[in-house]
Amino acid sequence: MVKVIGVIPARYSSTRFPGKPLVDILGKPMIQWVYENAMDSKLLDFLIVATDDERIYNVVKSFGGNVIMTPSDIKTGTDRVAYVLNEFDADIVANIQGDEPLLTSEMIDRTIEPFLNGEKVDISTLAVKINDVDLIFNPNVVKVVFDKEKIALYFSRSPIPFCRDAKNEEDWLKLGNFYKHIGLYVYSREALLRFVSLRGSSLEEIEKLEQLRALENGFRIKVVISESDTIGVDTPEDVERIITFLKNKKIGFKR
């Protein structure tokens, strides 16, 4: 039987926003929002937070979550997820970002489904259609293009595809389809272990996008289209945007 686990990598240190996983959102730390949303998944057999910080470890324990301490010298969240495979057996691994409190269990399940449906992919991830022209030109918004089978061709901080015939910015949305990448990744066990064993690639270094290492090394990345967007937390201002969103949706304490 296929075993699917979800891992939420969470570190305390952050250049732009130290202590980000523990920031309060309507009475709960952000890591708890992420964990509880993921717990509603119908396809995850097990969920765990992987951290290198005792403060995060203790908070997760306090709300009843599964958590593991990982070495502090692990460089990336993906490496931290792969480390968990030393302790837990799994065929499929979901890397659930700890700074995505609006990521839903439905999004997670839809990203897992290509593996359970027998599709020949190494990694799957999420994207949502862009309807705001400003996002196309925002380098902090990663764009993705894919083929007819929704296998990723490229990810970029630049506008892709480039709309040569556009006379102004508004024309871009009229003439082309653009998709924002959402940072949720699901891997086969073999693909994850192979990925973290590879050296960083040239495109990855230029764009500062880890997924380009996978593309440069021939991984097939399935792009699952989401009907709704998320708000990732990189700055304190993002937290305020999330609080406003949740209040407008009248979402408070889930449990």
**Is 128 within the bounds of a domain?**
yes
Decide: 35 and 248 in contact? Cβ < 8 Å: no
Q: Are residues 58 and 163 in the same domain?
A: no
DSSP state of 67: E
Q: Are residues 209 and 108 in the same domain?
A: yes
77: enclosing H helix or E strand: helix 77-84
Q: Are residues 44 and 69 in the same domain?
A: yes
Q: Are residues 96 and 132 in the same domain?
A: no
Question: Quick one: three-class SS letters along 138-152?
Answer: CCCCCEEEECCCCEE
| Alpha-carbon dihedral sign for residues 220, 151, 187, 50 | positive
Helix (H, G, I), strand (E, B) or coil at 125: strand
The pLDDT value given to residue 253: 40
CA distances from 133 to 120, 181, 238 (A): 34, 15, 20
**Above 50 in pLDDT, residue 100?**
yes
Q: Are residues 37 and 126 in the same domain?
A: no
CATH code of residue 80: 3.90.550.10
Helix (H, G, I), strand (E, B) or coil at 78: helix
**Above 50 in pLDDT, residue 13?**
yes
Residue after which a domain boundary falls, among 72, 101, 130: 101
The pLDDT value given to residue 250: 59
189: enclosing H helix or E strand: helix 189-197
Number of domains, the chain: 2
DSSP state of 200: P
Q: Supply φ then ψ for residue 51, to 5 degrees.
A: -135, 165
**Is 250 within the bounds of a domain?**
no
Q: What are the residue ranges of helices labelled H in the chain?
A: 30-39, 54-62, 77-84, 105-116, 133-136, 169-175, 189-197, 202-207, 211-216, 236-248
Residue after which a domain boundary falls, among 101, 118, 153: 101
DSSP state of 91: S
CA distances from 176 to 88, 152, 166, 232 (A): 44, 17, 9, 25
Strand partners, 106: none
Mean pLDDT estimate for the chain: 94
Q: Are residues 26 and 123 in the same domain?
A: no
**Is 143 within the bounds of a domain?**
yes
pLDDT, mean of residues 211-232: 96
d(CA 110, CA 202): 31
**For 133-177, what is each residue's pLDDT tens digit?**
999 999 999 999 999 999 999 999 999 999 999 999 999 999 999
d(CA 76, CA 196): 10
- Tell me the pTM: 0.92
**Is 18 within the bounds of a domain?**
yes
**For 17-62, what is each residue's pLDDT tens digit?**
788 999 999 999 999 999 999 999 999 999 999 999 999 999 999 9
The pLDDT value given to residue 14: 72
Domain that holds residue 39: 1-101
d(CA 182, CA 233): 12
**Is 240 within the bounds of a domain?**
no
Higher per-residue pLDDT: 121 or 252:
121
d(CA 5, CA 96): 10
